[in-house]
Structure 1
Amino acid sequence: MTSHAILDSNTHRELRVRAEMGADLGDGVMATLTVPSEFRRVQGHFPILFRREAGQEHYFAVALLGFQSGENLFLDGARWDAGYRPLSLAIQPFLVGRAADSDAPAQVHVDLAHPRLAEGGEGVRLFDAGGLPTPFLEDIADKLGDLDEGYRQSAAFFAALAEHDLLEPFTLEVTLDDGSLNSLVGFHIIDEARLRALDAAALGALHAAGHLMPIFMAVASLAQVKALVDRKNRGLRDG
């Protein structure tokens, strides 16, 4: 259940955000949204996979954090055990809002029902005593801007993938050290054979449009699948 509102320095002057990590604070997820402009930062830490919701035509990209619902292998209690935190997690409980059919600037919205929100002495302030944004909120606004811009640019990226039929289904079955079988289905990855088969004109067009680099980053990120399996096995061994 969400409750979105435009963030306002008067109404929300005393609002604070719990900045620590925690499964109960929204970090307990097996995958989180990422956008092509972020792929370079994501690929060194997490596999980048593609999927679409049942009945939907359009794909989106996710950073894979675990192998089953609610499992985040990079969450160690209140500690984030990776060198990068995807923007879609880092901006919680905020989001970008826009008026329908309007060219008005984007606004920062806040989910008032999100567990990260607090009042009183707990958490980080969003506004100072004079109603000005704190450095914490300014950093969040920068991240929101990056994520929003990346999201708006992603339609052209996915259209290019569809034009060249560059996505293929991806299924992973892994037998863990304890003998259990973990299966990952419903995702797609870049079809490297089709990518290699593209002619110079197609590759040049992808490069000119800025799509070739995120494609390569998504391919490179698959090296993190083994690292994710190893992380899962370490967790099983260490309890």
Structure 2
Amino acid sequence: MPDHAILTADAHRDLRVNTERSAASGDAVMSAMVVPDELRQVQNEYPILFRRNLEHDRFTALAMFGFEDGENLFLEGTRWAARYLPLSIAIQPFLIGRPEGADTGVRQVHIDLASPRLGSEGLRIFEEDGSPSPYFHAVVEKLGMLDAGYQASIGFLAALRRHDLLEPLSLEVPLADGSTHRLVGFHVIDEERLRALDPAAVAELHQAGHLMPIFMALASLANIGALVARKNQRLRHG
């Protein structure tokens, strides 16, 4: 269970972060949230799908690492076998918080004290004098990028819905052991609908900066075959 706290040098000076990638460190996840500004890098490695949160009636863009809960086909021992790590994964166990009742422009760095990454070994968050370490400076930069990207994703996802550009995905994955896995509950960009948009709608998407991430999400679907191949290799070799 998460245990979030405001990060301070006084309270957390001796904490270290294990930056190895492994299931024990919390990396055994099927997917991770991604934001429009990073979709160019994401599409080089992962399929990008969209999932609707029925409770809040909104979509989230996701980089897919596997086909079932707890499956990350990019994990190989203590190595993440991809050239790009999504920001929402790279910043863990840190996150951005907002003081209760404060202006929405105010940001704080929080830390999940329940994270298995924390301990007495690994990279320092703070130096012995309490100043931020080089590692933490890099994390703060990523946190800023993720926060800005999250704000941009609100308009991006709203535009996809406004132009009816998301369609449900129905995908059956044939596996090496003879079984078939069905991926359900996700959406993809409707390419036919995108092609049918009138010039005014295309111009609106372009001016808002939404066309590039749309194209990146479409291009990323070519990675589904590679993800299936990873799944089958895992089934064959364990």
TM-score bucket of the superposed structures, by smaller chain = over 0.9
- 1:165 maps to which residue? 164
- 1:204 maps to which residue? 203
Letter in 1 for 2:125: L
Q: By how many angstroms is 1:55 displaced?
A: 3.1
Deviations 1:102-142 (A, max 9, x none): 145311100111111112xx111111111111111011111
- 2:65 maps to which residue? 65
Q: By how many angstroms is 1:53 displaced?
A: 2.2
- 1:217 maps to which residue? 216
Give distance in 1, aligned partners of 2:229 and 2:108.
Answer: 41
- Aligned-pair RMSD on alpha carbons? 1.1
Unaligned runs of 5+ in 2: none
Counterpart mapping for 1:93-112 below 5 A = 93-99=93-99, 100-112=101-113
What is the number of equivalent residue pairs in this alignment?
237
Letter in 2 for 1:117: L
- 1:19 maps to which residue? 19
Unaligned runs of 5+ in 1: none
Letter in 1 for 2:73: L
Deviates more, 1:53-62 or 1:29-38: 53-62
Q: By how many angstroms is 1:159 displaced?
A: 1.1
Deviations 1:183-219 (A, max 9, x none): 1000000000000001111111100000000000000
- 2:42 maps to which residue? 42
- 1:117 maps to which residue? 118
Q: By how many angstroms is 1:54 displaced?
A: 3.1
Give distance in 2, aligned partners of 1:126 and 1:91.
Answer: 12
Counterpart mapping for 1:50-199 below 5 A = 50-99=50-99, 100-119=101-120, 122-199=121-198
Distance 1:209 1:104, change over 3 A: closer
Give distance in 1, aligned partners of 2:62 and 2:170.
Answer: 15
- 2:228 maps to which residue? 229
Distance 1:32 1:103, change over 3 A: closer
- TM-score normalised to the size of structure 1? 0.96
- TM-score normalised to the size of structure 2? 0.97
Give distance in 1, aligned partners of 2:106 and 2:129.
Answer: 24
Q: By how many angstroms is 1:101 displaced?
A: 4.9
Give distance in 1, aligned partners of 2:23 and 2:62.
Answer: 18
Deviations 1:75-116 (A, max 9, x none): 011111011111111111000011245145311100111111
Letter in 2 for 1:146: M
Give distance in 1, aligned partners of 2:179 and 2:122.
Answer: 40
Deviates more, 1:167-176 or 1:95-104: 95-104
Give distance in 2, aligned partners of 1:54 and 1:196.
Answer: 28
Task: Give 4+ residue runs of structure 1 displaced > 4 Å after superposition.
Answer: none
- Kindly indicate whether residue 28 of structure 2 is the aligned counterpart of residue 28 of structure 1: yes
Letter in 1 for 2:55: G
Give distance in 1, aligned partners of 2:102 and 2:169.
Answer: 37
Deviations 1:140-163 (A, max 9, x none): 111111111100111111111111
